[in-house]
Structures are given as structure tokens and as C-alpha cells.
Amino acid sequence: MAHHVSGLGISPTSMDPRSHITDIFVFRSPGDADRTILVMCINPHSPITADAVDSESVYEFGVDNDGDAVNDVAFRVRFSPVAGDSQSASVQLATGRGPAADVEAGETIIADAPVTFGAKPEITAVGDFRFFAGLRSDPFFADPIGAGNNFQWTGQDFFADKNVFGIVLEVPNSVLGPDPQVGVWARVLVPHDGRLVQGDRAGRPGIDNNFNHSDDDKRVWNQQEPVKDRELFLDKFAHIFEHGGYPKDEAVTLAEGLLPDLVTYDYSSAAGSPNGRNLTDDVINEGIALLTKGAAPHDGLRPHDDLSSEFPFLGDPH
């Protein structure tokens, strides 16, 4: 199911749910064709843990704007420790392949933004950027019990009453690059042996959970960058499609369409998935239809009705 249960506890550098990405969303800002919304949902255990995010980790959106699956732009979010009932966040922007690869590079575009602990979102606007971080209702909708029972759907949305920690950033399209067709992914860099390493990553929904079945594959996958995806995983992904009934050549073509694992997004278009991903896109049924050649029935679920029409768009926490 999406990325909610993929990889958590598999990698020694991502045992902490605060370092776990559940979903990312990329879509045109409603009412403004010149701006894009980036959403990263963290921590499927929110608010069970004392702190929803890790102040020693870096939460990053990466953007490839020339089609080589290497970051050309990076937005890096860092959080202060929780002190009393408050916490703050800063956002760095690194532009260019070199700075985007250097976790310490970039300019601070948002500093000391308040993190929202209550229901009313605290929004920070600086220049062309808007930012939100805090506990929110999980926008993901799915029936994992039915999916695990050979698509015998229960009709129950497991995530309807769940929360996540949401990081939402509104950016001008011009920062993403001159070509409107880009690839976006998210990762969490976590402290390990005195340095920051990649502990978790997410792109298209459902990729890690549905295609990487062994602990070793999950470990390698979550610690590598998209540029290596085809080299290391194309044959394994194609085999999954073959197992679903596709002939070998078609299976390879489908696997190539999923790798590298980036959310493909054309910011000149407001269309949803597979162009970016809206909060209301029915990505689970899209993915199941692809994997089963349309054999599985629709699960009957619909997007959550607590989404907001205004920034930061995620619903109030439960």
C-alpha cells in the first residue's frame, strides 16, 4: 500500500518511524498555474511517538529537470528539537547538480518557521515560497486487508482515521527548471556513523512495497538514488510483471516505465496522476489494475472528505 509499510525497520538507518516517508504528492497550485505544491508525509505512527520528526535528520525533495535521474534542485527541510510545546523548521534551496548533491549546500529560503501542533495550520510565507509542517490527517486511502486477501475488498478505508506529519512547500515553477517536464522524489537523510546517509526514499506510490519483496532488496532500494534503479532493479521489476501475466517484452517495457522511480510531472498541465500526484488521485486502484492486467475489481473507496481547498490542503488531524 503506497509507501506506508515499505522498508520501515528493514534498513538499520531507518528503524525510526520519524525517518519514514509514507507518501509524496506533486501538483499544480490551485488557482495559480505558475506554482507547484510539494507534499511529503512522514511517520505512519504520528502522534504515537513523542516527536513526529527527527531534528538530526534532513527531509529532502529532489528534482531532476534534465531527464538523467540526478538531482538538479533540492529543497532540504531541517527541524529544531521540540522545546516545550514548540518547534521550528528551516528550508534550504540548492540549485545545480553540485549543490543539490551536497547536503550542506544551498541558501536558506525559510528560517524558523513554526511547526503546527494543533488543528489550525501555521503557515509561513517568504517571498515566492510558502511552507507548512505539522500533524495532519493522512490523505492516503486504501483497503490493505482486502488487498492481502486476494482483492476481496472489505469496503473499509484503514487510513480514514490515521494521522501523519505533513511537510508542504509551495514553490514557483521557475525554480524547478526551464523545461516543465521534471521528475520529483523525496528522501530522508539520517545520521549514521557520524554522517548523514539516505535512510528512506519515495517516488511513485506502491513501488517499494509491491516490487521489492526481500529484506535485502528493500535495504538496497531505500539507500540508493534513482539513477541506479534500472541497473539494479529492472530485471526484478520485469519479473513481477511477468508473474502478473504479461509477456516478457511487455513486462520489460512496463518496468522501464516505472524506473527510475521519480514522480513524473509536467508543471504546464493541471492533470493528475500519472502527471504528478494529486491528493485525490486513486493511485492504488491504478496500480492494482496495472499489476493484475485489470483483473482485480475496484476497491470502492474514495478520497477523504476532510481535505482542505486551501494551503496546506491536508485535513485537520484526528
173 vs 19: which has the higher pLDDT: 173
Please say if the pLDDT value at position 39 is more than 70: yes
pLDDT of residue 49: 67
The span from the CA of 93 to the CA of 68, in Å, is 20
According to the model, what pLDDT value does residue 4 have? 52
Residue 227 corresponds to which cell in the numbers above? 539513477
What CA–CA distance (Å, rounded) separates 317 from 178? 37
Residue 228 counted as domain residue: yes
Q: Is 280:286 a contact under the CB 8 Å cutoff?
A: no
* Cα–Cα distance, 41 to 261 (Å, whole number): 17
**Amino acid (1-letter code) at residue 114:** P
Instruction: Decide: 100 and 175 in contact? Cβ < 8 Å.
Output: no
Q: How many folded domains does the chain comprise?
A: 1
Task: Summarize the confidence of residues 91-116 as an average pLDDT.
Answer: 97
- 307, part of any domain: no
The DSSP line for 127-196 is TTEEEEEEEEE------HHHHTTTT---S--TTTT-EEEEEEEEEEHHHH-SSSEEEEEEEEEEEETTEE
CB atoms within 10 A of CB 198: 20
Q: Is residue 165 part of a domain?
A: yes
- Residue 229: the pLDDT is 98
> Is pLDDT of 52 > 50?
yes
Residue 90 covered by a domain: yes
Is a pLDDT exceeding 70 seen at residue 40? Answer: yes
Residue 109 domain flag? yes
* Chain mean pLDDT for the chain: 93
Residue 157 has pLDDT above 80, yes or no: yes
Domain span holding position 118 = 17-291
Q: Is residue 86 part of a domain?
A: yes
Query: What region, left, alpha or beta, does residue 134 occupy, with left being phi > 0 and alpha being psi -120 to 50 degrees?
Result: left
In a domain, 315, yes or no: no
Q: Is residue 305 part of a domain?
A: no
